[in-house]
Each structure stands twice: as structure tokens, then as C-alpha cells.
Amino acid sequence: MSKVWLVTGASRGLGCEIARAALDAGETVVATARRTEALRDALGSEHDRLHALALDITDAKAASLIAAESVGRFGAIDVLVNNAGYAELGFFETITDAAVRRQFEVNLFGTMNVARAVAPSMRERRSGLIVTISSVSGLVSNAGGAVYSASKFAVEGWMEGFAQELAPFGVRSLLVEPGMLRTDFMDQKSASFGSIDIPDYAEAIARYRAFVEEANGNQPGDPKLLAARIVALASHDEVPSRLVFGDDARQWAGAKVDQLRQEIARSVDRG
């Protein structure tokens, strides 16, 4: 039996690939982005199972209206893919307070808006899957990614607890933690950098920006493979609570686990 998917940030990148993979699997997809024109350009209009709607996820009322419209039209939202977001890259002190708050407004509070809009119908039906696109940067933080990681760490903490609250009602959760994917996530369409000039950081920032520019378009992870994996998992009765995707992500996450184990061991009071 086909499912109804609601995918945010579906006009490009991983969200677009997930929408395509779901359509290819015979599913009905409500695809959202800030502009419907971008959705039609990316996904076309030939699918009668594709429904493109404009949504800025920071608008809680708009998210509620789209959730209600989708449930009213199709009877249910079986799978929510909370994908929309962007990266505020750069060293923390070079990023304005307004930019930091905008990062959280989109990546955390916007994601919460959509989940809050969809979860009640899933609870009522005692069925549903919420897929939250996080990042390995939600597990591991590095210089140049402190603000972005902070927003994803927050998403991880919120969703880990929320998933446990939803589980008794038959609503499942999957946190997806990709490594570096070959999307436009690291270019200026998705990523932005600090605007405050601090000479002490100049050399390190130059190295970091060179790394980002070199990595952009050459990332090892294939978003099509991840999208196919997510769509396949959605058809299973049981899903893992987390999917760490990519050799780079598994290496970084594994190193973080090892570091935590060592620090926990050193924290034991032997006095």
C-alpha cells in the first residue's frame, strides 16, 4: 500500500532526491520549499502523485495549514521528512548574533514547527514515521562549524527525547546523520560564512574556506543512495533510531564515541 510523504526543503539537495525516490517507489509526495517554482523546476510536473506547496518552515501557522491540508486531502501523512535547513559556517566570533539566531530559527525551531504540525495526526492514527535529517555534525563539532553543529546538536537532543514520547503511540522516528554529501549544501545557496573581521582568526579562516571550496562538489557521499536507503527503511516495520551514512560519518562518529569512552573513564573518581 502506497504512503503519503511530506518532504520539506525538497527543491534541491537531499530533500529533492528523497522526493524523487519516494515518487519512483509509487508513493504520493507533498513536496515543500519556499518557492513552488523551484520545486517544479527540480521535480517537474508530470507526476500526478506530486503536490508542490510553498512553505517557509519558520512560519508555524503555515506549517499547520499544510499539514491539515495534506491530511484532509489524502487522509494521512505517513512519513514526514524534516529536511529543510542550511549551514551557518565560519568561526563563532565572526558570526553575528542575528545570524546565530537565524540558524536556530530555521534548523531547530522550523523543524519543530513542522513536527508539531504533523505529530497530532500520527498520534491519532497510532501510525507514522518522522525522518529528521540531522548531520554527523550533530554528533561531532569542529572549528568552523560550531554554530551549525550547535543547531544540529539541539535537533538531536530534542528528537531523541521526542521520539521516546511518540513511541507508545506507534509513531516511529529516524534520525539521519550523513557525512559530506555531493549536494550544493556547501555553496552559497545553502551555506553562509561569518561577516565580522577578526585578524586573530584570519589565517585559520582562510584555510577553512579553502577546505570548503575544495570539498564543494567533491563530497564522497551519494545523496541518491541515501535517499533510496531512507525510502526503503520507511517500508519496514522496524527502523533504527539513527542512520549514520557514509564512511566519513562513521569514522568521525566512531572517533567521538572512543573519545567519550576515554573521557568517561578518566572522569571516575579514584580518590
156 touches 139 (CB < 8 A): yes
**Among all residues, which ones are annotated catalytic?**
134, 148, 152
Within 13 Å, how many C-alpha atoms sit on residue 171's CB side?
Answer: 24
232 touches 23 (CB < 8 A): no
Q: Would you tell me how many other CB atoms lie within 10 Å of the CB of residue 113?
A: 24
DSSP 229-256: HHHHHHTSS---SEEEESHHHHHHHHHH
Task: Compute the radius of gyration of the chain from its Cα atoms.
Answer: 19
Report the b/e string of 48-73 with b at 16+ CB within 10 A.
Answer: eebbbbebbbbeeebbbebbeebbee
Contacts of 88 (CB under 8 A, 6+ apart): 95, 99, 100, 102, 103, 147, 148, 151, 191, 192
Amino acid, single-letter form, for residue 40: R
